[in-house]
Amino acid sequence: MSSDHKKSTKQSAVKPEKVKPKQKIELYRQMLLIRRFEEKAGQLYGMGHIGGFCHLYIGQEAVVTGMNAVKEEGDQVITGYRDHGHMLVCGMEPNGVMAELTGREGGYSRGKGGSMHMFSVEKKFYGGHGIVGAQVPLGTGLAFANKYRDNGNVSMAYFGDGAANQGQVYESFNMAKLWSLPVVFVIENNRYGMGTSIERASSTTDLSHRGASFDIPGIKCDGMDVFKVMQAGKEALAHARSGKGPFIIEMVTYRYRGHSMSDPAKYRSRDEVDEMRKDHDPITTLKDMLLEDGDIDEAGLKEIDAEIRKVVSEAAEFAQNSPEPKTDELYTDILVAND
């Protein structure tokens, strides 16, 4: 795994020293928020406050954080069911996300969507989709609308290494290239589609090449390094925005937890997980860099940590105290009343 990361990007990485300290600290803050939020969600799941499926993003934080840092106003985001991190970086309220996890009235979908189905039209987050790969044509459709309106926006469609084998992904690649749609396909390769390693599921494992037969350029990127993600994202978004059509980034990343909360993850060794956490953790890496460069001191870090813990515990409290949806909500939002 580690060698994969070292050879990764063809691009020269965004030079961290060129990123302003303030922005570096913000990236750190966002990644830490996702990490703490997800840990809390895991806890609440264990306590029975969150039901059904709950797919945690722990370990993959640098991917959405880096991409989010280089997107432009109006660019859309769509992803699959491992979606909590995407929503938080889009600026959706932790309270509303957590309350949706607990199925309460205060949730983004008023409790009717759950972990896998949340949306914010205002923040340009288009879900939150539970069917593996479905977000890829949907995200391509968002790009279609951008081109139709000629609004200069790019859609970012995130999907995993598992979804990368879905037929509809290639149907979308074909049309995206055929029509030069402004879409960036972000493949979050966390090495396991549920319990099946990529080597056991994919005839070719370099997912950055998956657009080759459609002439869609692709790059492989170390998804554990937020600066490398930013660099790859910048290149991809600029390509798509310039009218050249789709671009693929394979983000080589890792999830520390099981596929979902009910997965004990026996298909991989504890050593493998420990090695990733110890040597490649995106948050620890950035934290060490901040300290080394003197961008922040221990006290500053503590302050951020405390502030995030407060946000997360408030979200957990809100999510538990928000009432369940009223029973008449059962029959609302099935159809839009005619305007």
Partner 1 sequence: MPVEVLMPALSPTMEKGTLAKWHVSEGDTVGSGDVIAEIETDKATMEVESVEEGRIGKILVSEGTLDVPVNAPIAIILYEGDDENTPLPEGSKQQAEPDAKESAAPEKQEEPEKAPTNQVKITVREALRDAMAEEMRKDETVFVMGEEVAEYQGAYKVTQGLLDEFGARRVIDTPITEYGFAGIGCGAAMAGLRPIVEFMTFNFAMQAIDHIINSAAKTLYMSGGQMRCPIVFRGPNGAASRVGAQHSQDYSAWYASVPGLKVIAPYTAADAKGLLKAAIRDPNPVVFLENEMLYGQSFDVPDTDDHIVPIGKANIRQQGDDVTIVSYSRGLAYVEEADAALKELNINAEVIDLRTLRPLDMETILTSVKKTNRLIVVEEGWPVCSVGSEICSAVSSLAFDDLDAPCLKVSGKDVPMPYAANLEKLALPTAGDIVEAVKKVTYTQ
Task: Give the footprint of partner 1 on this chain (CB under 8 A).
Answer: 76, 78, 107-113, 117-121, 126-131, 134, 136-146, 148, 155, 167-168, 171-172, 174-175, 178-179, 332-336, 338-339
CB of 52 to partner 1, least distance (A): 13
Give the C-alpha separation, 308 to 210, whole Å.
Answer: 38
Nearest 10 degrees: Cα torsion 251, 252, 258, 259: 40
Which pair of structure tokens corresponds to residue 230? 């930013």
If the CB atoms of residues 143 and 226 are measured against partner 1, the closer one turns out to be 143
Contact 213, 275 (CB under 8 A): no
- Residue 100 CB, nearest distance to partner 1 (Å)? 9
Residue whose CB is less far from partner 1, 59 or 127: 127
Q: Could you tell me where the beta strands, DSSP code E, fall in the chain?
A: 76-79, 125-128, 155-160, 183-189, 192-193, 196-197, 218-222, 247-252
| Residue number with CB closer to partner 1 (126 or 192) | 126
Q: Between 58 and 175, whose beta carbon lies closer to partner 1?
A: 175
Instruction: Read off the tokens for 326.
Output: 């009223």
> Minimum CB separation from partner 1 for residue 243, in Å?
14
Least gap, CB of 116 to partner 1 (angstroms):
9
Tell the smallest beta-carbon distance from residue 322 to partner 1 (Å): 13
3-class secondary-structure state, position 155:
strand
Q: 103 or 233: whose CB is closer to partner 1?
A: 103
Q: What DSSP string describes 159-223?
A: EETTGGG-HHHHHHHHHHHHTT--EEEEEEE-SEETTEEHHHH-S---GGGTTGGGT--EEEEET
